[in-house]
Structure 1
């Protein structure tokens, strides 16, 4: 019943939904799940599907990423994400088909980013907007980001605040003060280090980073329903046949 319904609805546009994060200090997952309407995106069953998908991607980050540089990053497309195992032993694609059969509209496991820190001094944090009332290691919203950084005194709250800035201000790249120049109009700034810091615009992000002795290793930001580049720079794309169902 679920597969038949999913096949029938597969061609319908699904750009609503959520992005979600799950992380610990050394691992992170950022996942997007789409549906047709915002009404379904608020459904408890949709939130359960979102949480299952994010947990599966988080487990993948723990068990399947090999050390390479300060962090290992893996981008999973829709088919690869669906091949991961959900709680209870089913593949995510099977769980999704049952969900579609229940709600009666199309839904898509769109993409995921799985990260692993390979050095003790590298930390991973994450943020979604709207933010939950009580911050935790899992959250979902319309926007989300993962951030990998180094900071000697390990003030994780500041890392999360910087991740909040990334979600809110949508920088295109970290930026290099030796090679890049600030935009003439601060509202047009796309380099993270030159942007006015979201929580205190009297400082730039670079100035706040220097004050807190923080070094950004990398970040990634998802906006639900956004157009996605086919080849994201700096992210390894794993062949489908190597993304096996988790045991």
Structure 2
């Protein structure tokens, strides 16, 4: 029989190993979010090498994601988020959909939407500058999937990985990249408002392009954000011109310049623009789940321009 002294030494020697393994397991679960069983298996297969175990888990999840994406492909994705990011003369609006609002609040889904917005912005930044005031780049789901991400993989790869993690269908629906001339200011806003990073997420988003008509000292970021709030809330269909007659019923007005300003209904948007001596060159609004045909089968390099 094993002596008490030897037995005590045996358990004493095993305790640090078990503690180290538990620590690795806890670290891997925290980093990846995968189950206890899968993380334990990954560590066992790779001799407790944390980096290799994590990579294996991601490969497995991506493989499962592709399978799940194929299996769940027909399931409706009516929920989701709009992502907005603005960087100087470039901006991007992206819509990513999922099946339920529960997953739309999931951190893995948020990471996917964030990745899609950054990839769209990077694509827009890489496009050549022109003398056009604003250039738009519309992308549909097929085009979005091919965009590269920061780690070199495609958005399609990240989507599969996310589907494998959350177990629910998801889709990259559409995106808009906006490139502005140096004398045009871009602003954006999403609702419900919430950011905390370079990418803001919400259910409705808007981008507005402004041009100053005089060298007046104004806070273009503030005015631009307020105009985007108006666009999000009032959903105008076009900028409008002075030749467009205002609607008889103010509630039915669809021309942006003739609408009562959302933050002060005593004035119109046109009066706000005149006060600050600015002009709206272009705007775009995305609402999650809305019907649209604007991204149907256009080539990726398709652009829409505003003089």
Give the alignment's TM-score, normalised by structure 1.
Answer: 0.90
User: 1:238, CA displacement in angstroms?
Assistant: 5.5
Distance in structure 1 (CA, Å) of the matches to 2:69 and 2:128: 31
Q: What does residue 229 of structure 1 align with?
A: 293
User: 1:88, CA displacement in angstroms?
Assistant: 1.4
Displacement over 3 Å in runs of 4+? none
SS in structure 2 of the partner of residue 203 of structure 1? strand
Of residues 217, 239, 243, the one that matches 2:299 is: 239
**1:132 paired to 2:194:** yes
SS in structure 1 of the partner of residue 189 of structure 2? strand
Q: Which structure is higher in helix share?
A: 2
User: 1:141, CA displacement in angstroms?
Assistant: 0.3
**1:199 paired to 2:260:** no
Report if the CA contact (8 A) 1:86-1:92 is conserved: yes
Query: What are the ranges of 5 or more consecutive residues in structure 2 without an aligned counterpart?
Result: 1-63, 303-307
Larger radius of gyration: 2
Report if the CA contact (8 A) 1:125-1:146 is conserved: yes
Q: Structure 1 pair 58/173, CA: closer, same or farther in 2 (3 Å)?
A: same
SS in structure 1 of the partner of residue 247 of structure 2? coil
Report if the CA contact (8 A) 1:172-1:192 is conserved: yes
Report if the CA contact (8 A) 1:128-1:141 is conserved: yes
Residues 145-180 of structure 1: per-residue CA shift (max 9 Å, x gap): 1111112435221011101110111000001112x1
Q: Structure 1 pair 80/154, CA: closer, same or farther in 2 (3 Å)?
A: farther
Of residues 5, 26, 30, the one that matches 2:89 is: 26
Q: Structure 1 pair 141/6, CA: closer, same or farther in 2 (3 Å)?
A: same
Q: What does residue 112 of structure 1 align with?
A: 175
Report if the CA contact (8 A) 1:29-1:58 is conserved: yes
**1:175 paired to 2:237:** no
Report if the CA contact (8 A) 2:141-2:174 is conserved: yes
User: 1:25, CA displacement in angstroms?
Assistant: 2.5
Q: What does residue 162 of structure 1 align with?
A: 227
Residues 63-111 of structure 1: per-residue CA shift (max 9 Å, x gap): 0255251111100100111111122111001110111111111101000
Give the alignment's TM-score, normalised by structure 2.
Answer: 0.73
